[in-house]
A and B are shown apart, each in its own frame.
Chain A
Amino acid sequence: MAWWKTFRDRIRALRDSEAVHREIDEEMRFHLDMRADENVRRGMSPEDARREAERRFGRLTRIKEMGYEVRGGGFVETLWQDLRYGVRMLLKHPGFTFIAVLTLALGIGVNTALFSVVNAVLLRPLPYAEPERLVQLYEANAQQGFDRFAFSLANFVDHRDQQSGFEQMAAYHRWNANLTGAGEPERVQVAIVSANFLPLLRVQPLLGRGFLTEEETPGKDNVAVLSYGLWQRRFGADPGVLNKSVNLSGYVCTVVGVLPADFQFPDPFGRNPLSEAAPKVDLLAPIAYDPKNLGDRGSHFLQVLARLQPGVELAQAQTELRAIAGRLEQQYPDRNKGWTVNVFALQDEVVRTVRPALLLLLAAVAFVLLIACANVSNLLLARAAARQKEMAIRLALGAPRARLLRLLLTESLLLALAGGAAGLALAYWAMRAFISFSPANVPRTDEIRLDGMALLFTFSITLLTSVAFGLLPTLRASKAGVHTTLKKGGRQAGNRGGRPRTRGLLVVAEVALSLLLLIGAGLMIRTFISFQRVDPGFRTDNLLTMKLALPFKKYPQPHQQVAFYRQVIERVRALPGVQEVGAVSDLPLVEGGFFAFIIEGRASASAQDDPSAVWRAITPDYFRTMGMRLRRGREFTEQDQPGAVEVIVINETMAASFWPGEDPIGKRIQIYDSQPMPWREIVGVVNDTKEAGLGAPTRPEIYVPFSQRPRTAMTLIAHTAAGPEQLAGAMRAAVQTVDPEQPVFRISTMQQFFSAEVAVPRATMFLLGALAVAALILAAVGIYGVMAHAVTQQTHEIGIRTALGATQRDVLRLVVGQGMTLSLIGVVIGLAGAFALTRLMTSLLYGVSATDPATFTVIALLLTGVALFACYIPARRATKVDPLVALRYE
């Protein structure tokens, strides 16, 4: 246990170094005494004996020191000394320390926070067993521009039964039901799943069981599995809930199981965060179908999940499915022409829409960290230069070079650790800020926490940083020869030597990096402004929307549905503050569906080639409520009733696409929205809207009168005089006076949907903007620091120039010229980098090109201006140099 003894000695020496010194002294004294005694025995006088003994001993002090080095402090004590010295040095220069620690904390903190977020949202595997084998399958049709389309039941069954690359393939679709009985009627999210859904995810119910294969048969499918949340909320976590009944929109189901608390529905989330596809599921129920009659192969409504066989690659499985799809296309050309299958890793699907923004932010944060490191490096270099004389003297006095290196490295480490600690605190705060800032459709935000991996990451950054900026000045400081430095008599060596070049490079890098960030932020600002300027084609203020879905069992007849909504609309219209009220089957920005149609006299070769258009059923007041504008013809009226002439209104895009240069009024089409398909006459044209999203292209659109094509699920829209959200209670009450059992849901103002549309670009803009501003400040501080230091170093030179007749203007030009040369090189490099890199963020941009000349120019000018300012302050000081003082300074 020699090391243990050594260690114990070291610690003892730390606590009481005097004792160790005393012991060594004693040992030496003993030796001297023994030698003297020996000499006396050999006949010397005591004095001579003593002197001879001491002479033999030689450099007693050096020996004692060596003994202490071995037995006493050694490395531990040196480290302790260095640490204490380091802390003292840092405290003696509070300005330097503050800026350095703050800079580091900023870099490290923001980095850790964003890394925690990215780790939780993008990197951490989904919470299922062997998640890397889970994939999401879609039908795809390149001709029609679909790369992720739902499966039809028949196609799903055929693919499932013919494939071999997957262990299991499960299908589901979402259903919104009214849960009634025992308490308030409640709108619940139901996932209708195939029986192998839970086994595929390897999820065991907390209570009871999952679904059995025979429960996929019609008539046996009246069973349900509750989510943990619903079980807690609605059933008070009653363990006796099994075998109880629940009423879902009139369907009575028996509860057979309860899902575990941490279960998450593996939904690739919906387009709009507030839409119904939000991944919160209250109940599971089984899919039921008749294997002999799988319905219309062209009716796509199923999401398909699958688990790859062990050892089977995703691409392999996709090839196999595409071969199957090819055979089905041959077999059913009428329905399957052009359809194939796409396979995506589930993990990637879940984060698809936020991945580019998060990766962009991560890159931005890495840039900020780099800038921060460059800054601290600069600070340390400046200080190393100022301490060159100190180091030279230490070397001259015999300090080993390694000892000096260690001292300086310790100081850097101290700084980095302090920066890391402050950074960690900042990270926690920044992470909270990010979560509260992040739009609702960022998935898995509840999983974000400063986890061990992020902690490790920070720590690595801290250490890397300390080495990066600790080594550079340390090497330089120790390399400077003793003679050169001392000969220069305290004036810092090498004004024109290597050090200014290193620091100049750092300035160039900082400027280039911050320019990149600023341009990225500038492009996001332009995007945001473009979004703000988009005219959606309908009013967004003072609209309150509220969705209802009538249980089909209770309102099976179309006239019942029409009557219900007519009553509700009348009551809502009577509310004070309501100006107009209408209803629509699919709320713009949130939902929407297609139907194919046939134009009279232009029949296609096959049903597959028929054009399609967005389809909405509306009440007569819908256009007026939404503030839309009629371009030709008329709106719907109360006279457009079943039995009367079937009519439609189309949008401008549809008119221009199918009747260019013609008047579409009076033209007739057949729509696949009903059987049989009557001819329907176009009676009006309305303006285009951004119904599919502000960034989405405008599509042909058909409006049909609700009274001629009733639906159970409609969204009520009220145009109010002011403060639409205040009407929510009154509007809900109006609904429930018509039917007290009818729940309303998704109550929201149009403005909220509109904001949600721009949530990702807005959050990206704010975060990237904040990072860019941080980068700009850091870069400005960096330029200022370098130039201020350069001026101090050149005081002598400037003094001589002034003495020789240089004007203030000349001095100003000299200093500013030096700084601006560096800055402009940085700007040029940054512009080149931006040209190369901004195209990577194209998918995040809207209404502005990735290499927008205006943004590039304005940002470059802005940065140049800031750099000029940062150079000007030290330059001003240089002009104040008094030649007499400067020369005496020598």
Chain B
Amino acid sequence: MAKQKPDLPQGTLDLLVLKALSLGPMHGYGIGQRIQQLAEDMLQIEEGTLYPAVYRIEQKGWIESEWGVSDNNRRARFYKLTRQGRKQLAVEESQWEHLTTAVAKVLRAT
């Protein structure tokens, strides 16, 4: 394993998936790629965790899926954010900011 990559805290992956899909509908593979790009390769998303997360989020009704055609002209299952998912994203974003600010404050103390 070339680089040391941190484990994601519980629930964070959901936030990332929602964020990735807020930029536009995407298939599972693309979601992973997009998160990796946005994180400038500082994160690597394991398929073994990505798909369970995606399915879980779909069950909650925050995203929905349908079959479409990928860039390379292949049939693929595309996920997109639902209205409910968009709301959830806003909630989770603000929670995340609150949390990181708080954690950062604590860590900055000497």
Judge if B82 is at the interface, Cβ distance under 8 Å.
yes
Judge if A575 is at the interface, Cβ distance under 8 Å.
no
Instruction: Report the separation of the CA atoms of residues A2 and B58 in the bound assembly, to the nearest whole angstrom.
Output: 9
Judge if A889 is at the interface, Cβ distance under 8 Å.
no
Instruction: Report the separation of the CA atoms of residues A2 and B82 in the bound assembly, to the nearest whole angstrom.
Output: 9
Which of A27-35, A271-279, A657-665, A850-858 lies at the interface?
Answer: A27-35
A30 to B27, Cβ gap below 8 A? Answer: yes
Q: Which of A5, A26, A34, A59 contacts B48 (CB 8 A)?
A: A59
In the complex, per-residue mask of A626-662: 1 if CB is within 8 Å of any chain B CB, else 0: 0000000000000000000000000000000000000
B28 to A66, Cβ gap below 8 A? Answer: no
Decide: A63 near B48, CB < 8 A? Known: A6-B61, A30-B29, A71-B55: yes
Judge if B110 is at the interface, Cβ distance under 8 Å.
no
Judge if B64 is at the interface, Cβ distance under 8 Å.
yes
B46 to A23, Cβ gap below 8 A? Answer: no
Q: Which of A6, A26, A31, A71 contacts B29 (CB 8 A)?
A: A31
- Could you give 12 example pairs across A and B, Cβ below 8 Å? A2-B84, A30-B74, A30-B75, A30-B77, A31-B47, A34-B70, A56-B46, A59-B48, A63-B47, A63-B48, A67-B55, A70-B58
A72 smallest CB distance to B (angstroms)? 10
In the complex, residue of chain A having the shortest beta-carbon distance to the beta carbon of B82: A2
Q: Which residues in B have their C-beta under 8 angstroms from that of A23?
A: 67, 77
Decide: A63 near B51, CB < 8 A? Known: A27-B77, A30-B76: yes
Query: In B19-60, which residues have CB < 8 Å from any A CB?
Result: 27-29, 46-48, 51-52, 55-56, 58-59
Judge if A58 is at the interface, Cβ distance under 8 Å.
yes
Instruction: Report the separation of the CA atoms of residues A35 and B44 in the bound assembly, to the nearest whole angstrom.
Output: 13
B47 to A33, Cβ gap below 8 A? Answer: no
Q: Which residues in A have their C-beta under 8 angstroms from that of B56?
A: 70
A63 to B52, Cβ gap below 8 A? Answer: yes
Instruction: Report the separation of the CA atoms of residues A27 and B29 in the bound assembly, to the nearest whole angstrom.
Output: 9
B32 smallest CB distance to A (angstroms)? 8
User: Which of B29, B46, B51, B77: most chain A CB closer than 10 A?
Assistant: B51
Query: In A464-491, which residues have CB < 8 Å from any B CB?
Result: none
Decide: A58 near B47, CB < 8 A? Known: A66-B55, A70-B56, A70-B58: yes
With A27-B27, A27-B76, A70-B58 given, name 15 new contacts (CB 8 A).
Answer: A2-B82, A2-B84, A23-B77, A26-B75, A27-B77, A30-B27, A30-B29, A30-B75, A34-B70, A62-B48, A66-B55, A67-B51, A69-B55, A70-B55, A71-B55
Q: Which residues in B have their C-beta under 8 angstroms from that of A66?
A: 51-52, 55
A36 smallest CB distance to B (angstroms)? 11
User: Which of B28, B29, B56, B67: most chain A CB closer than 10 A?
Assistant: B29
In the complex, residue of chain A having the shortest beta-carbon distance to the beta carbon of B57: A70
Instruction: Report the separation of the CA atoms of residues A67 and B47 in the bound assembly, to the nearest whole angstrom.
Output: 13
Q: Which residues in A have their C-beta under 8 angstroms from that of B77?
A: 23, 26-27, 30
B-side interface residues toward A, CB under 8 Å?
A: 27-29, 46-48, 51-52, 55-56, 58-59, 61, 64, 67, 70, 72, 74-77, 82, 84
B83 smallest CB distance to A (angstroms)? 10
Instruction: Report the separation of the CA atoms of residues A2 and B52 in the bound assembly, to the nearest whole angstrom.
Output: 19
B82 to A27, Cβ gap below 8 A? Answer: no
Q: Which residues in A have their C-beta under 8 angstroms from that of B48?
A: 57-59, 62-63
A33 to B58, Cβ gap below 8 A? Answer: no
Decide: A70 near B47, CB < 8 A? Known: A2-B82, A30-B27: no
Instruction: Report the separation of the CA atoms of residues A533 and B47 in the bound assembly, to the nearest whole angstrom.
Output: 91
A357 smallest CB distance to B (angstroms)? 58
Contact-size category for A: 20 to 34
Instruction: Report the separation of the CA atoms of residues A59 and B51 in the bound assembly, to the nearest whole angstrom.
Output: 11
In the complex, residue of chain A having the shortest beta-carbon distance to the beta carbon of B56: A70
Instruction: Report the separation of the CA atoms of residues A6 and B29 in the bound assembly, to the nearest whole angstrom.
Output: 23
Instruction: Report the separation of the CA atoms of residues A647 and B6 in the bound assembly, to the nearest whole angstrom.
Output: 122
Instruction: Report the separation of the CA atoms of residues A822 and B1 in the bound assembly, to the nearest whole angstrom.
Output: 70
Instruction: Report the separation of the CA atoms of residues A57 and B55 in the bound assembly, to the nearest whole angstrom.
Output: 16
Q: Which residues in A have their C-beta under 8 angstroms from that of B76?
A: 27, 30
Instruction: Report the separation of the CA atoms of residues A2 and B84 in the bound assembly, to the nearest whole angstrom.
Output: 9
Instruction: Report the separation of the CA atoms of residues A27 and B56 in the bound assembly, to the nearest whole angstrom.
Output: 16
A392 smallest CB distance to B (angstroms)? 29
Instruction: Report the separation of the CA atoms of residues A3 and B59 in the bound assembly, to the nearest whole angstrom.
Output: 9
Instruction: Report the separation of the CA atoms of residues A23 and B58 in the bound assembly, to the nearest whole angstrom.
Output: 15
User: Which of A2, A35, A59, A66: most chain B CB closer than 10 A?
Assistant: A2
B28 to A27, Cβ gap below 8 A? Answer: yes
Decide: A70 near B59, CB < 8 A? Known: A27-B76, A31-B28: yes
Q: Which residues in B have their C-beta under 8 angstroms from that of A6?
A: 59, 61
Q: Which residues in A have their C-beta under 8 angstroms from that of B55?
A: 66-67, 69-71
In the complex, residue of chain A having the shortest beta-carbon distance to the beta carbon of B47: A57
In the complex, residue of chain B having the shortest beta-carbon distance to the beta carbon of A38: B33
In the complex, per-residue mask of A26-65: 1 if CB is within 8 Å of any chain B CB, else 0: 1110110111010000000000000000001111001100
Instruction: Report the separation of the CA atoms of residues A5 and B46 in the bound assembly, to the nearest whole angstrom.
Output: 28
Q: Which residues in B have their C-beta under 8 angstroms from that of A58?
A: 46-48
Q: Which residues in B have their C-beta under 8 angstroms from that of A63?
A: 47-48, 51-52
Instruction: Report the separation of the CA atoms of residues A26 and B74 in the bound assembly, to the nearest whole angstrom.
Output: 11
Q: Which of B28, B51, B61 contacts A2 (CB 8 A)?
A: B61
A70 smallest CB distance to B (angstroms)? 4
Instruction: Report the separation of the CA atoms of residues A71 and B82 in the bound assembly, to the nearest whole angstrom.
Output: 16
Instruction: Report the separation of the CA atoms of residues A37 and B29 in the bound assembly, to the nearest whole angstrom.
Output: 12
Instruction: Report the separation of the CA atoms of residues A219 and B52 in the bound assembly, to the nearest whole angstrom.
Output: 95
A294 smallest CB distance to B (angstroms)? 81
Q: Which residues in A have their C-beta under 8 angstroms from that of B84?
A: 2
B64 to A5, Cβ gap below 8 A? Answer: yes
Q: Which residues in B have their C-beta under 8 angstroms from that of A28?
A: 51
Q: Which residues in A have their C-beta under 8 angstroms from that of B27?
A: 27, 30
Instruction: Report the separation of the CA atoms of residues A869 and B107 in the bound assembly, to the nearest whole angstrom.
Output: 80
Q: Which of A2, A33, A57, A67 contacts B64 (CB 8 A)?
A: A2
B74 smallest CB distance to A (angstroms)? 6
B44 smallest CB distance to A (angstroms)? 9
A93 smallest CB distance to B (angstroms)? 37
Instruction: Report the separation of the CA atoms of residues A66 and B76 in the bound assembly, to the nearest whole angstrom.
Output: 19
Query: In A324-346, which residues have CB < 8 Å from any B CB?
Result: none
Q: Which residues in B have their C-beta under 8 angstroms from that of A34?
A: 29, 70
